[in-house]
Structure 1
Amino acid sequence: MSTTLSFSFHQRPFVPYAHDYLHGEREPWHQHDCAQLLHILSGVVRVDTPEGSWVVPPGRGVWLPAGTQHALRITGNVAARTLFIDPLARADLPASCQIVQITPLLRELIVAAFSLPENYAPGSRDERIYELVLDEIRGMQALPFYLPEPHSETLKKLCQQIRDTIAEPWSSAQAAAFINMSEKTLSRHFQRQTALTFGEWVRRARLMEALVRLAQGHSVLRVALDLGYGSHSAFTAMFRRVMGVSPSDYFR
């Protein structure tokens, strides 16, 4: 059952909130009557929603529109900085959940938000900072750290099996046999329900699991082998292709 949490904004468009989590902590299913930007400074947070899962690496953020049911799973010691945003603050705030790039400017603005007064004069510096934060949120770049959940029970069963045996070399033929379905039918239903091909979904599931394991301090080689990659270099090439840097550079 989901709990709804409320915030009082008064004059200001958002409320900043800082919270640190310990490894292994969880937040049960809940929702807010406002939008939420959760910025992760360290560790990794997995955000589950009815539509799928998001993994938030350090230095990135997750955007949750008002009313989004979600639960959190914490890996590593997580330092989180959150903005709870009045959904009426802007008409063009992002309308869907997404992992987002936090620009250096937005990162510093989030820090500055903690010293802003609750009440401020129109046209003042404080008002301009509040408005600039909203401008930066509106222009955030979405990142591909989302693992969509299919709708049918058959495909949900398959996806859970893949997560449980993520190191297996899951081919579409093997997946189709697991659920007694033809490859062609599997491909059609998978694309329709997740907007990803089966192969893309498996690669993304492995990347998200890799982010969690690397945040736990596992070596790159161990993560590569545990996730079914034949070598350190094959895993690093995949990681660099998606993330833009090597795993060791990313978590340094």
Structure 2
Amino acid sequence: MPWETIEVPAGLPPPRPLAVRVQFIPAHHCFPEHAHRWNQMVYAISGALTVIAEGGSYVISPEQAVWLPVGVNHRVGSLLGAEFRSLWIEKEDGDGLPADGPTVFGVTPLLKALVIEAAEISGEEDHDGYAGRITRLIFDQLRRANPLPAALPWPREGVLSTLCEALYADPADPRGPEEWGRIVGMSPRTLARHFATETGMSLRSWRRRMRLFRAIELLAGGLGVTRTAMELGYGSTSAFVYAFRLEMGASPQAYMRGRGDDAHLA
């Protein structure tokens, strides 16, 4: 499925000191490569985003965001659709935050709630200083955020990117390296070598991490644990729960309760 381009609005005013961009990104849509004269926190409150910036390419979940310092060229899109909530932050207010390149970091429930509130009150007059307090809390949370070693790495382009898109769209796809090698015109060994070079991990490890990303996405979207296990291709609910606990240190139910998003889990 080809990607459709979303136009970047022209003549955007600079944030003073913070602005929130609220937009739904449809499936397989992306902004063209561009840069800003201000800092940016790339984030989605639901769905996953694909982010390409300064040679790195990865997918982030609603538990993660990407910090982009002033002037970093980047391209943002979504494979399956996402509720985009981008923070634009004035250059001077980026003090204490990474300035040498893109950084992936974890988003706490508090920071997520602050982003949502900032979007809700955007454009309103700040008569009582409430908006200013929300902004200061966001800055405090950003400076306390923990950098992550990586999100879900993603090949920049070509057949490997197409392969990853197919697996992301259908995590239950049972085809292994031999079959995928035939499809993309590589031997299994060549496929493994190129994939590791592009992503820094084996295809097997990438699929395991991708399933975790999709699990969080499906659970947050209202799917129960059993249905999520089936969608991801696990042989049983218990196998999915075991794999999730191994990666996240908690069961799906406990993990989602920690996010305050467990009312639908069963």
1:36 lines up with 2:22 in the alignment: no
Q: CA deviation at 1:224?
A: 0.8
Segments of structure 1 that go 5 or more residues without pairing to the other structure are 120-125
Distance of 2:77 and 2:30 partners within structure 1: 5
Residue of 164, 168, 171 corresponding to 1:163: 168
Q: CA deviation at 1:86?
A: 2.0
What is the RMSD computed on CA atoms of the aligned residues? 4.1
1:232 lines up with 2:237 in the alignment: yes
Distance of 1:102 and 1:211 partners within structure 2: 15
TM-score computed with the length of structure 2 as normaliser: 0.66
Distance of 1:74 and 1:162 partners within structure 2: 16
Change (3 A) 1:206 1:128: closer
Secondary structure of 1:187's aligned partner: helix
Distance of 1:69 and 1:18 partners within structure 2: 15
Q: Give the aligned partner of residue 122 of structure 1.
A: none
CA deviation map 1:38-60 (0-9, x unaligned): 5655xx23212345452433xx3
Q: Give the aligned partner of residue 65 of structure 2.
A: 62
Q: CA deviation at 1:221?
A: 1.1
AA of the residue aligned to 1:178 = I
Residue of 85, 91, 112 corresponding to 1:87: 91
Structure 2 counterparts to residues 1-252 of structure 1, below 5 A: 1=5, 3-5=7-9, 6-9=12-15, 12-15=16-19, 17=20, 19=22, 28-29=30-31, 33=36, 34-37=38-41, 44-50=46-52, 52-57=57-62, 60-65=63-68, 66=70, 67-72=73-78, 74=81, 82-90=86-94, 93-94=97-98, 95-96=101-102, 98-102=104-108, 104=110, 106=111, 133-143=138-148, 146-151=151-156, 153-249=158-254, 250=256, 251-252=261-262
8 A contact 2:21–2:88 mirrored in 1: no
CA deviation map 1:10-49 (0-9, x unaligned): xx5433x37486x9689751556133235655xx232123
Q: CA deviation at 1:194?
A: 0.9
Question: Which of the two has greater strand per residue?
Answer: 1
AA of the residue aligned to 1:62 = A
Q: CA deviation at 1:190?
A: 1.1
Secondary structure of 1:69's aligned partner: strand
Q: Percent identity?
A: 27
Segments of structure 2 that go 5 or more residues without pairing to the other structure are none
CA deviation map 1:36-89 (0-9, x unaligned): 235655xx23212345452433xx3422415422135546xx5x7653112343
Distance of 1:127 and 1:222 partners within structure 2: 43
8 A contact 1:2–1:29 mirrored in 2: yes
**How many residues are matched?**
237
Distance of 1:137 and 1:206 partners within structure 2: 28
AA of the residue aligned to 1:189 = H
